[in-house]
Structure 1
Amino acid sequence: MNAKLGIITIGQSPRVDLTGDMLNILRKDIEVIERGVLDSFTLKEVNEYFRPIEGEARLVSRMRDGNQVILDEGKIIKELQTVIYELEKEVDMILLLCTGKFPKLYSKKTLIMPKPIVKSVIDVLRDGKKIGVVIPDISQKEDIELWWKSVEIDVEIFAYSPYTSNCPIDNIVFKDDSIEHIVLDCMGYTQEIKSKIIEKTGKKVILPRTLLARIINEILYI
């Protein structure tokens, strides 16, 4: 009997732009079941209800048709717990497809939250040095910068959306030459984007989606 992995996106499922990179790594006996916080909402409803107001923490995700959406973190969290409760009835483990910071979420099944895992890996690798962080939208910069500072990691941030083509990868430049590691701080970044950033910067790049897939292979079994 196959193990079942539940994957929750804060946007809409299925995330065909994302799961390909993960399925290339996940064991073949792992069945993936996807759910999205915004699955039951239209784009118009999302823009009306989930649009963040000035000063509120923001998350960036994708609708089923590929449209990028900027979301109020607090409103997404309220919906997210309900999706977890529904999905845990069907799966052995749940992965949240978002590197955002979240309060304590509850599940009867193992719930994998990317942010603390990525942070732990970086803490080991960086050797006290500043890291580069790539984020989807410049409006997130202050909030994300504060989070990394709160865990005592010095960062330089660059905004590059994995969902739009407004900023070419060639524009990604980090001013601090001492930076050795770059974190792509969103589950929307692809293996292709990672490879291009490595080629452009010459830095070591951490891609959360493939990092998490490898960890899941180690711990998910029945």
Structure 2
Amino acid sequence: MSKLGTLTIGQAPRADITPILDAVIGASVPQRHAGVLDGLSRIKIERDFATEPGQPVLITKLLDGSAVVIDRARTEAAAQHKLAMLEAEGCSTILMLCTGHFASLSTEKARLVEPDRILPPAVAALTQGAQLGIIVPLAEQISSEAGKWAPLGRAPLYAAASPYGGAGVSIAEAARELAGRGAQILLMDCMGFVERHRREAAEAGLPVILSNGMIAKLVSEIV
């Protein structure tokens, strides 16, 4: 029997993301949710996953609802151990709940689904040369995550707005900015963006691609 594992870079379960999966994946498919930061206090997270100046970062959500920014390389190393755990527990397909780029993640037998390997070619095919505007959570990710969008026919436009709140522009403001700069289609490049964020972005009058919605639909075809 198929068993779906999910791995968030934060703490599981992700109450904001799992309903999107449940909407398209049948209840007959067992699921096991795990997180890279499961069981860790914020103090330990800030120590063991501390960011380094100039190095790629990721942002994720903890069980208490707060957000934390963590180092991508340290997260990738810890994620590999969690993937092995999920595979040992019988997961036949494992979905990374992160659109960030990871260079070295692997599994022995389980099918590993990494959104950053699927979204760029799929979005390129959908947009067919239209000017894409990408909303990322952190301004620092505009440069660190840009390489994965090479399949696009045109260089995308970027704006930063976090799905987890805090200081900075709102999602609606980021979407309007991108529309004003010539974007024709918007992409929300983080698994933390959910349907309410899509509605906010859609106020700019453009089609909005929700990363986790697209990935959930694709994964439902193979589990």
Note whether the superposition's TM-score is higher than 0.5: yes
Correspondence for 1:103: 103
Cα deviation 1:182-204 (Å, max 9, x = unaligned): 11110000011112211x11212
Structure 1 stretches lacking a partner, 5+ long:
none
Correspondence for 1:88: 87
Matches of 2:153 and 2:43 in 1, distance apart? 39
What is the Cα deviation at residue 150 of structure 1? Answer: 7.8
What is the Cα deviation at residue 151 of structure 1? Answer: 6.4
Q: Does 1:176 align with 2:181?
A: yes
Correspondence for 1:155: 156
SS of residue in 2 equivalent to 1:134 = strand
Cα deviation 1:34-73 (Å, max 9, x = unaligned): 0000113211111122121111011111111111111111
Number of residues paired by the alignment?
Answer: 217
Matches of 1:214 and 1:119 in 2, distance apart? 16
Cα deviation 1:159-200 (Å, max 9, x = unaligned): 1111114333331221332x22211110000011112211x1
Contact 1:11 1:36 in 2 (8 A): yes
What is the Cα deviation at residue 143 of structure 1? Answer: 1.3
Correspondence for 1:164: 165
RMSD: 1.7
Matches of 1:74 and 1:81 in 2, distance apart? 11
Letter paired with 2:172: D
Q: Which moved more, 1:183-192 or 1:22-31?
A: 22-31
Contact 1:25 1:210 in 2 (8 A): no
Cα deviation 1:11-53 (Å, max 9, x = unaligned): 1111112111221221221222100001132111111221211
Matches of 2:8 and 2:123 in 1, distance apart? 23
Contact 1:183 1:206 in 2 (8 A): yes
What is the Cα deviation at residue 114 of structure 1? Answer: 0.4
Cα deviation 1:102-141 (Å, max 9, x = unaligned): 1132112000000121111111122223311111111222
Q: Does 1:194 align with 2:198?
A: yes
SS of residue in 1 equivalent to 2:192 = coil
